[in-house]
């Protein structure tokens, strides 16, 4: 069995969503696609002109990023992601994460600091200030620039 590869400090991205935007009844594909959008909104300008590899654990989002299309409401978020990629001259590539290798992503998404420390202690040190930026939408991102 291969040893899990843990991200380097600063390479994992996670923010908490405001309660007003959690959309509890929203389909999981939409939530997963929004995570990609947030990464592009926050980091896109620094990644300008590069290839970005999105590691995703959702099959629909993986296929959407690879094929540039998805059915349903997630298409609107995918279009914004592709617009951001064009704006920052990014080449987006998707890599699927098998469920059995997804423990770190699960604990990061739940902000379970005890488990994060157990799985990837290097991520418990302050390396990134993205949490201070909070949730962004494409419209308010444009107005900030």
What is the predicted pLDDT for the residue at 1? 46
- What token pair was written down for 91? 């080449």
Q: Which tens digit of pLDDT belongs to each residue from 53-107? A: 998 888 999 999 999 999 988 999 999 999 999 999 999 999 998 877 888 877 8
Angle at 49 between CA 44 and CA 53, to 5 degrees: 65
What is the predicted pLDDT for the residue at 126? 56
Residue 10 lies in a domain: no
pTM here is 0.64
Residue 64 lies in a domain: yes
3 pLDDT higher than 60: no
Residue 135 lies in a domain: no
The mean pLDDT value for 16-35 works out to 75
Residue 33 lies in a domain: yes
The mean pLDDT value for 44-56 works out to 93
Indicate the SS3 state at residue 13: coil
Chain mean pLDDT for the chain? 78
Beta strands in the chain (DSSP E): 51-56, 91-96
Our count of domains for the chain comes to 1
Residue 89 lies in a domain: yes
In 3D, which of 46, 39, 49 has the Cα closest to residue 81?
A: 39
Range of the domain at 59: 27-98
In 3D, which of 77, 90, 88 has the Cα closest to residue 136?
A: 77
Count other Cβ atoms within 10 Å, centred on residue 49: 8
Residue 46 lies in a domain: yes
Residue 74 lies in a domain: yes
Share of the chain above pLDDT 70, in %: 68
Q: Say how far apart CA 42 and CA 48 lie, in whole Å.
A: 12
């Amino acid at each position: 069995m291969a040893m899990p590869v843990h991200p380097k400090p600063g390479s994992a991205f996670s923010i908490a969503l405001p309660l007003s935007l959690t959309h509890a009844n929203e389909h999981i594909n939409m939530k997963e696609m929004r995570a990609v959008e947030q990464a592009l909104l926050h980091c896109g300008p620094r990644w300008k002109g590069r290839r970005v590899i999105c590691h995703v654990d959702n099959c629909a989002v993986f296929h959407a990023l690879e094929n540039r299309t998805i059915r349903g409401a997630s298409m609107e978020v995918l279009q914004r992601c592709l617009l951001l990629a064009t704006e920052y001259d990014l080449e987006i590539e998707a890599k699927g994460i098998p469920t059995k290798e997804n423990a770190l992503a699960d604990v990061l998404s739940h902000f379970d600091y005890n488990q994060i420390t157990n799985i990837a202690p290097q991520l418990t040190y302050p390396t990134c200030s993205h949490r201070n930026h909070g949730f962004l939408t494409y419209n308010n991102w444009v107005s900030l620039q």
